[in-house]
Every structure is written in C-alpha cells, then in structure tokens.
C-alpha cells in the first residue's frame, strides 16, 4: 500500500523554529535532515488529519528519522530552537 503525499502548509511559528533548527545542524547533515524531517513532519500532520504542520509533527519527525547516535546533538538543537521535545524524553526514560 502506497501512502499519498501532499505538500502541506506550516504553522508560521513552527516553520520558523524548524528553519532555526536546520541552520544549527552541521553542514554535512543539513540538507538530508531538512528533506527527510520536512517530509516526515508533513506526513505526520496528514496522518493526524491536520490542515497544517504543527510543532508536534516536527518533533515527532526528528525523533523518528534521526539516528539514535545523534540524539544528544538533536536534543540540544531542539532546545536551542525552542521546540518542546519533553514527551519524547519521558518516553525514553520509561524504556
């Protein structure tokens, strides 16, 4: 079964935080992270039946698409960009 992907609008505040975060990612990972996370965030919003990408979609995308080896860097950059990742930290500590 193929998932149909439609480019979605973004909440302006969420998009600004996302772009701030992308600028903080090391240059050699930046383009691929932007492409992969942007697409996954839009798929997350679409799966929720939302009309636009919101912060939870972006955070969920980072946690599902970024390799675990880079989690500490990702969490630091999420924090610097002002994205709320608390639900994921709680989930990780329960494991």
Residue 1 has pLDDT above 50, yes or no: no
Q: What is the pLDDT of residues 35-86, one digit of tens each?
A: 999 999 999 999 999 999 999 999 999 999 999 998 899 999 999 999 988 8
pLDDT for the residue numbered 84? 87
Between 3 and 14, name the one with better pLDDT: 14
Name residues whose C-beta falls within 8 Å of residue 40's C-beta, 6 or more positions apart in sequence.
Answer: 60, 61, 64, 65
Q: What is the pLDDT of residues 17-30, one digit of tens each?
A: 999 999 999 999 99
Q: Domain limits of the chain?
A: 9-94
């Amino acid at each position: 079964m193929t998932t149909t992907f439609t480019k979605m609008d973004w909440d302006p505040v969420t998009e600004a935080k996302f772009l701030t975060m992308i600028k903080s990612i090391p240059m050699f990972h930046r383009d691929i992270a932007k492409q992969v996370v942007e697409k996954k965030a839009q798929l997350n919003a679409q799966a929720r039946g939302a009309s636009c990408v919101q912060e939870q979609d972006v955070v969920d995308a980072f946690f599902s698409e970024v390799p675990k080896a880079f989690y500490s860097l990702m969490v630091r950059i999420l924090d610097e960009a002002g994205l709320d990742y608390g639900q994921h930290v709680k989930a990780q500590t329960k494991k």
